[in-house]
Amino acid sequence: MTKHAPDLASAVREIAAEMKEKRDRGEVASYIPELACVDTGKFGIAVVDADGEVTAAGDCDEPFSIQSISKVFTLTLALGKVGDRLWRVVGREPSGSPFNSIVQLERERGIPRNPFINAGAIVVTDQILSGHQPREALGEILRFMQFLANDDSISIDEHVAASEQRTGFRNVALTNYMKSFGVIENPVEYTLGVYFHHCAIAMSCRQLAMAGQFLAHLGRNPITGHSVVQPERARRINSIMMMCGHYDGSGEFAYRVGLPGKSGVGGGILAVAPGKASVAVWAPGLDANGNSHLGRIALEALTRRMGWSVFGA
């Protein structure tokens, strides 16, 4: 008797229905006022398989603030621009600290542990900015997202950007501190302006899952045929997502989900099942580490049902 392949469509449908019913939904990020008013009742999921087929459910077409998920794409751009020289100004080790932690930076002389904690992502943004005006750098990041998702309608939510610009005191502190070590090349307000705006890009699960395809398929988007990065670079970006994509919750995410993933405080998670699929989920309520509470639970259910963990079924 042949074993039937697990049915993706029913898995996605059932998981979405289950998540809508959950009572314990986590807390929205309140330190960015504009994100504090998002409805925790939302849940969306989109999966793009190796044939480019999209399976989606729930609030999968509603744009949300991608926040730190943008850091995967800025890392990709910065590596394209400066190559391995990037690793002179940022490390690639898990931090074991919260995303906005300051303490580690002093011991490590202004060099952030990895490109996904705030300090590291700000350095990455600074590298993209060098030699350009902030507006040009931001335009490049946005166009890159549109190109990857094959969708020109993707835009920046200016309210979210302004909201964070008004209240992002910790990021200002982190950036000034790194500047004192000579790690930041551009004026602090320019670098942060670009950073806050790329965090404020709004995308739906469907758009985000489309944009993540190159990471699932050795650097190439199998649908458009566009080669985005070399296979080796895709593999390495995935490894950083696995080790660092969920801050001090990265171990738990690897243990439960078993896929490279990147979260954002808007409640989104992008996860990559190499050779199989690019997955985006969105549930605005967060856990204590600032990662989507139901997003993680949904991905755990999905990888278990589909046998997608990179560590084996």
Asked if 65 and 199 touch (Cβ cutoff 8 Å), the reply is yes
Q: Identify whether 42 is a catalytic site residue.
A: no
Nearer to ligand GLN, 114 or 171 (CB): 171
Residue 265 within binding range of ligand GLN, rule CB under 6 A? yes
Query: Which one of residues 89, 128, 199, 211 is an interface residue with ligand GLN (CB under 6 A)?
Result: 199
Closest CB to ligand GLN: residue number: 68
Q: Identify whether 247 is a catalytic site residue.
A: yes
Catalytic residue among 38, 42, 71, 250: 71
Give the shortest CB-71-to-ligand GLN separation in angstroms.
8
Query: Which residue bears the tokens 């939904």?
Result: 25
**143 token code pair:** 């166009």
Sheet of 54-58, strands arranged across:
54-58, 44-49, 277-282, 268-273, 261-263
Find, among 99, 91, 105, the residue nearest to 31 by Cα: 99
Asked if 33 and 163 touch (Cβ cutoff 8 Å), the reply is yes
Residue 264 within binding range of ligand GLN, rule CB under 6 A? yes
User: Which pairing describes strands 44-49 and 277-282: parallel, antiparallel, or unpaired?
Assistant: antiparallel
C-alpha to C-alpha distance for 220 and 240, rounded to whole angstroms: 18
Give the shortest CB-6-to-ligand GLN separation in angstroms.
31
Amino acid at position 195, single letter: Y
Asked if 260 and 252 touch (Cβ cutoff 8 Å), the reply is no
Q: Identify whether 71 is a catalytic site residue.
A: yes
Q: Identify whether 68 is a catalytic site residue.
A: yes
Query: Which one of residues 193, 258, 285, 290 is an interface residue with ligand GLN (CB under 6 A)?
Result: 290
**Beta pairing partners, 155:** 202
Q: From residue 143 to residue 182, what is the string marking binding to ligand GLN with x (rule CB under 6 A)?
A: ---------------------x------x-----------
**5 token code pair:** 């392949």
Residue 68 within binding range of ligand GLN, rule CB under 6 A? yes
Per CB under 6 A, residues contacting ligand GLN are 67-68, 99-100, 118, 164, 171, 199, 264-265, 290
Active centre residues (catalytic)? 68, 71, 195, 247, 265
